[in-house]
Amino acid sequence: MKPYLVKTPKFVQRLFPKRTWVFPYHENKVYLTFDDGPIPQVTPWVLDLLKEYNAKATFFCIGDNINKHLNVFKRIISEGHSFGNHTYHHLNAWKTKTEDYITNCKMFDDALKQFHNDTSKSVNHKSIITNLFRPPFGKLTSMQSNILQKKGYKIIMWDVLSADFDAQISKEKCLENVLKNIQVGSIVVFHDSLKSEEKLRYVLPKVLDFIRNQKWKCAKIKAY
């Protein structure tokens, strides 16, 4: 059995009601999300494709990658997408002391300050803030979750996992994971990472075609 679920069951969502798993079904929107970037090898291609389909998305970024690739992150902001905190070093919460984990999340905010200092006035700096948070690997202890929520973070999970990170499945299976489970209100997880690149380049255009044919709108998750 794979150590993850492609479709998050309702009972799991009910176990953690303060976390966001889906959005209202009546709004005719779906929410594509991309974890682990930004990186120059993959993220610009994702942004180009989203622009081609007039689609918006949410990028859960690693703080260290923001510092390394400020220009790529700038594109995410300037092209109207939203972003969230994915910790600074992509930590596994279950293997990290709570104090260290929260400190690492704060380091992400410090990376945003660096971005603010290093960018020109062409960027709307009011958009360089976020209270969106997604835990790497989807793992978070109750204590860590409570602390982050008290700090004002909205914890964004998902109801559809593409599994583009899984080397054991084919790109066709990855596509099936999404197309068989996506529905209005769904939050779908992809990864703009080198590990997922091959599957993502195959799957994402087809998913965007499917969404367009369904006459759904690809929307970003709004902070605050």
Mean pLDDT of the chain: 94
* Per-residue tokens: 19: 């976390």
In a domain, 30, yes or no: yes
Residue-range definition of the domain harbouring residue 41: 10-218
**How far apart are alpha carbons 78 and 71 in whole angstroms?**
10
In a domain, 5, yes or no: no
In a domain, 165, yes or no: yes
Percentage, residues of the chain above pLDDT 90: 87
Instruction: Pick 129 or 137 by higher pLDDT.
Output: 137
In a domain, 37, yes or no: yes
Q: State the catalytic residue, choosing from 86, 159, 191, 192.
A: 191
Nearest to 181 by CA among 2, 36, 5, 4: 5
**How far apart are alpha carbons 194 and 91 in whole angstroms?**
18
* Per-residue tokens: 125: 């700096």
pLDDT per residue as tens digits for the range 159-185: 999 999 999 999 999 999 999 999 999
* Per-residue tokens: 53: 């389909």
**How far apart are alpha carbons 69 and 36 in whole angstroms?**
12
In this structure, are residues 147 and 100 in contact, taking their beta carbons and an 8 Å threshold?
A: no
The CATH number of whichever domain residue 44 belongs to comes to 3.20.20.370
In this structure, are residues 85 and 130 in contact, taking their beta carbons and an 8 Å threshold?
A: yes
Question: How much is the pLDDT for 162?
Answer: 98
**How far apart are alpha carbons 34 and 187 in whole angstroms?**
10
- Range with lowest mean pLDDT among 37-41, 111-115, 121-125, 194-198: 121-125
Question: How much is the pLDDT for 56?
Answer: 98
In a domain, 119, yes or no: yes
Nearest to 70 by CA among 126, 34, 123: 123
Decide if pLDDT at 215 tops 80.
yes
Total count of domains within the chain: 1
Nearest to 185 by CA among 148, 223, 214, 224: 214
Instruction: Pick 222 or 123 by higher pLDDT.
Output: 222
- Catalytic annotation present for 35: yes
Decide if pLDDT at 30 tops 60.
yes
In a domain, 3, yes or no: no
Decide if pLDDT at 113 tops 90.
no
In a domain, 224, yes or no: no
Decide if pLDDT at 121 tops 70.
no
pTM of the model: 0.95
